[in-house]
Amino acid sequence: MSDSEPLDRKPNAPGWVPPREGSNYNPYDPLEQRPPQGYPSEFKTPGKKPTFGSIPKDATQYQHMKETIQRLQYTPRPKSQLYPGQYKVLRRVNNYSRFQKGALSTGKFLTIGIGLYSVFFYRWNDGYDNVFSDFYRMRLRIKYIVNGGLSEQELEDLKPKQRGFVDRPKAVVAEGEDPIKPKELPKESEYLKERPSDRHLMEAQMIVQDREERLMRALDIAHEQISKGNIESTAPKKKLFGIF
């Protein structure tokens, strides 16, 4: 094809007007012939829902392809030959291989085996009572019935026993030495609860201070009265008509 020959392109839709560069739809322009919502290629972003005030972003290649497929109503699924208007359902083949079955069964076997061994066969806590003691003794009883005998250790484990509590470590008490008895605490007297506290002492000090203040006020009043009596006694008496 030479450069002079025109290229064939799809004709525009009827009523299509070329968009103005750098201008959106203007409802107040009498010469505006574009639709209010704008052309899809100009304003609508493929694969993005329009929102008020949202800034349009550049669509990815996947969104462009998805938009094109939706417009063409194209689907990669083949249509069903038995059911018209529906599509064939694609199913995976051999999605549960022998390796997966073996791995799953091996995991279940190991989990169940470790659980049974830890509950019925393992000797926890050196034979002392624990959570699995009843199951362990039940297995020993069944073994005694089947075999007709048990070892000395297993016979001891049949009897429930608890771990004793040691008051003092063995390293502190020498062999043949009696452990030191703890000192006896002094017995509390019946007046222990009546022992005064800081609050009681503060209240007692306030009462004593109040009494002392009252006593000082009484002494001050007495001194004033005595001083007034002395002044009256020492003052010269006025004579009646200057004679008496």
Radius of gyration of the chain (CA): 55
Position 167 pLDDT exceeds 60: no
16 in a domain, yes or no? no
User: pLDDT digits over 89-105, tens only?
Assistant: 877 777 778 888 999 99
* Helices then strands, each counted (H, E), the chain: 5, 0
pLDDT score at 122: 94
Q: What tokens does 31 get?
A: 């010469």
User: pLDDT digits over 3-16, tens only?
Assistant: 556 667 778 878 77
73 in a domain, yes or no? no
Sign of CA dihedral 52, 54, 55, 60: negative
| Number of structural domains the chain divides into | 1
Return mean pLDDT, the chain. 78
Instruction: Name the amino acid, one letter, at 39.
Output: Y
133 in a domain, yes or no? yes
User: pLDDT digits over 106-150, tens only?
Assistant: 999 999 999 999 999 999 988 899 999 999 999 999 999 999 888
145 in a domain, yes or no? yes
237 in a domain, yes or no? no
The model's pTM is 0.33
150 in a domain, yes or no? yes
210 in a domain, yes or no? no
Q: Which domain holds residue 153?
A: 120-164
Task: Report which of 115, 185, 128 is spatially closest to residue 160, judged by C-alpha positions.
Answer: 128
Distance CA 214, CA 220 (A): 10
User: What's the CA dihedral at 189, 192, 193, 195 to 10 degrees?
Assistant: 150
Distance CA 202, CA 198 (A): 6
180 in a domain, yes or no? no
Distance CA 34, CA 39 (A): 8
